[in-house]
Amino acid sequence: MRFDELNWFDVESYLKDEDRLILVLGACEQHGYLSLLTDAHIPLALADAASQQTGVLVAPPLNFGSSPYFLAYPGTLSLRLSTLLDVVEDLVRSAYGYGFRRFLLLNGHGGNDPVRGRLYELANQLPDLKLAWYAWWTAHSVAEVAQKHSLKPAHASWLEVFPFTRVADLPPGEKIPPVVPGLMGAEQARQVYGDGVFGGPYEVDPEIMDEIFAAALKDILHLLAF
């Protein structure tokens, strides 16, 4: 269940014998031929699936992350890193205030990784707070599925093509990953990445995607038992 479908009475009832919450951290940024919200939609879909099996509530997704390197691609909406850290702190503190204690952060975007640093600081300040972090595309389980099919994970490539991220036709074939010279500014990044895909096949058999999703979901269900 998402907060959308609930009123405050519902959350109060829930907190009587539960204290787990799923927070979805997304991004609004170029994803090649895929939806600008790809990084929000994937963890949200995983959250919904996990919620359906466990009843754990899902907070509204944060639709924006830290994506400074993609700001030359129209449609990217990036929070400064300092802003992003504050947003996540505020969300955790709000929900902690009336009783949530165990937070699973489902992150959909690599640029949000620094949030973990702020979470450690919060863990020092809020007694009994329990935090778990999951970035699906970096999981061992997902890597194994990819490896099994001789595929490599990459931003905006086959790895992120789900029915709920596809908004246009995809090119045939695959892309040779560009050479990346250090930490690039946005203009240079656009020159280097061109269509925005980091390389590999543009899409693969949907059954592989089901395997990917199932692997990540299994991890999440395991993490929710904290």
Tokens 């009587």 -> residue: 16
d(CA 9, CA 182): 51
CB nearer to its own copies: give 35 or 157: 35
CA angle at 106 for the pair 103 and 108, rounded to the nearest 5°? 155
The distance of closest approach from Cβ of residue 150 to its own copies in the complex, given in angstroms and rounded to an integer, is: 20
- How many residues sit in the footprint of its own copies (CB under 8 A)? 83
The β-bridge partners of 22 are 58, 104
User: Per CB under 8 A, does 216 bind its own copies?
Assistant: no
The distance of closest approach from Cβ of residue 146 to its own copies in the complex, given in angstroms and rounded to an integer, is: 18
d(CA 33, CA 28): 14
DSSP per residue over 210-222, as a string?
HHHHHHHHHHHHH
CB nearer to its own copies: give 172 or 207: 172
The distance of closest approach from Cβ of residue 174 to its own copies in the complex, given in angstroms and rounded to an integer, is: 18
| Residues in 123-152 at the binding interface with its own copies, rule: CB under 8 A | 123-124, 129-133
Q: Which of 82, 138, 147, 191 binds its own copies (CB under 8 A)?
A: 82
DSSP label at 104? E
Closest Cα to residue 19, out of 59, 61, 57? 57
User: Tokens in use for 184?
Assistant: 């690039």
Residues 164-203: x where in contact with its own copies by CB under 8 A, - otherwise, as a string: ---xx------------xxxxxx-x-------x-------
User: Per CB under 8 A, does 206 bind its own copies?
Assistant: no
Q: Which stretch binds its own copies (CB under 8 A): 46-54, 108-116, 138-146, 203-211?
A: 108-116
User: Per CB under 8 A, does 81 bind its own copies?
Assistant: yes
Q: Which of 20, 22, 25, 37 binds its own copies (CB under 8 A)?
A: 37
Q: From the CB of residue 122, how many other CB atoms can be counted at a distance below 10 Å?
A: 16
d(CA 146, CA 141): 9
